[in-house]
Amino acid sequence: MNTLESITRWFNYTLSIPMIIFGIIGAILTVLIFTKQQSFWRHPSINYLLAGAIMTGIHLPSIYLQSILVNGFGLGLYTTNRAACKEHNYLLYMTTVAAISFPCWAAFDQYACTCHSASFRHRWRSLKFIRMTIIGTILFWIAVYLPIIFVSDIVNGACVLVPSYYTTFNTYVLTPFVYGIGPIVVITFFTLGTMKNLRRGIVHRRQGRLTQQVRRMLIPQLIVLAVSGVPFGFEGIYLNLTSHIEKSNFRLGLENIFSQIILLLFHCNYVCTFYIYWYMSSEVRKGIQQLLCKRLAFNSIGTTNTTVINTMTLRTRNSENHSFGV
């Protein structure tokens, strides 16, 4: 049992902490790059990916960091304070599912942009519709997960969902659907539809380079989302079905290790996103270079100005000293 607890802690020390650091850095860079260039933030699919990056930037420090503190260091307010427990569980579900939704919307947008019907493309790809969709998606999940606040409580030193009709619905229906079945169905349907449209070749020839690169960025992200979401979505069913079984300390420790592995695998969705964009898109790499060049040029100008001001000040003081005969 002590060995299993040590393994769980070392998972957090060696994997979770670097993951959250790289994930937060990636989310910040994604937001900066997608908002600094007009070609990015006016692209329909990138608007969805930008919304997902913002939700990632909220989720990682506010939710995943707290989980690392609890599981790796035995620290955490939400395991000792009921209000913090309710807030943690609510934001956990709401931000996670919202972040999952936006790549799925981007998959739909890729299907829409390759559709042969011009009216269909204009109707479903207007920036007004996309921004309303983003806001509506967030408000929808805010409302869906409101009951989480009322069924969350601390039991035996753990922040859990207490037995209720909503807890049963969330465990057996909502969570498997939104984390596993739903994304897989949406991704498969619209990806196959996009490939079918591309084989026609008519719309594909008129698409810009950025649109093609967005598709290359999106496909690996959707694959990671589909693969990692299934074990995370169905883990709750196993834990609920075996909750009434008397378990040994060894089995509890082993289940905790597998829970940490599943959690790490699922958070690859948040951590790897920016690096997938960077690897798959030359436009993103160019944006990073421009961002770094501007930052370095700004620092260089600031250093030069400081040097000039200091030199002018020194000359002025020397002139004053000479005028007084010093």
The Cα–Cα gap between 32 and 286 comes to 13
Indicate the pTM of the whole model.
Answer: 0.79
Provide the pLDDT for residue 203: 52
Radius of gyration in angstroms for the set of CA atoms belonging to the chain, rounded to a whole number? 25
Beta bridge partners of 161: 152
pLDDT in tens, 252-274: 778 878 887 887 888 787 888 88
Provide the pLDDT for residue 308: 46
pLDDT in tens, 17-37: 888 888 889 889 888 888 887
pLDDT in tens, 274-315: 888 888 888 888 888 887 787 676 555 544 454 444 445 445
Q: Please say if the pLDDT value at position 210 is more than 80.
A: no
Provide the pLDDT for residue 307: 47
Structure tokens at 215: 């598709």
Beta bridge partners of 153: 160
The rounded mean pLDDT for the chain is 80
Q: Please say if the pLDDT value at position 320 is more than 60.
A: no
Provide the pLDDT for residue 211: 76
Between 41-55, 179-193, 252-266, the lowest mean confidence (pLDDT) is in 252-266
The Cα–Cα gap between 239 and 231 comes to 12
Q: Are 141 and 102 in contact (CB under 8 A)?
A: no
Structure tokens at 272: 């790897």
Q: Please say if the pLDDT value at position 123 is more than 80.
A: yes
Q: Which residue has the higher pLDDT, 63 or 150?
A: 150
323 band by pLDDT with thresholds 50, 70 and 90: very low
The Cα–Cα gap between 28 and 26 comes to 5
Pairing outcome for strands 158-161 and 152-155: antiparallel
Q: What is the mean pLDDT of residues 237-248?
A: 82
326 band by pLDDT with thresholds 50, 70 and 90: very low
Cβ burial of 179 (10 Å; 0-12, 13-18, 19+) is buried
In degrees rounded to 5, what are phi and psi of residue 115?
-70, 140
- Residue type for 44, please? P
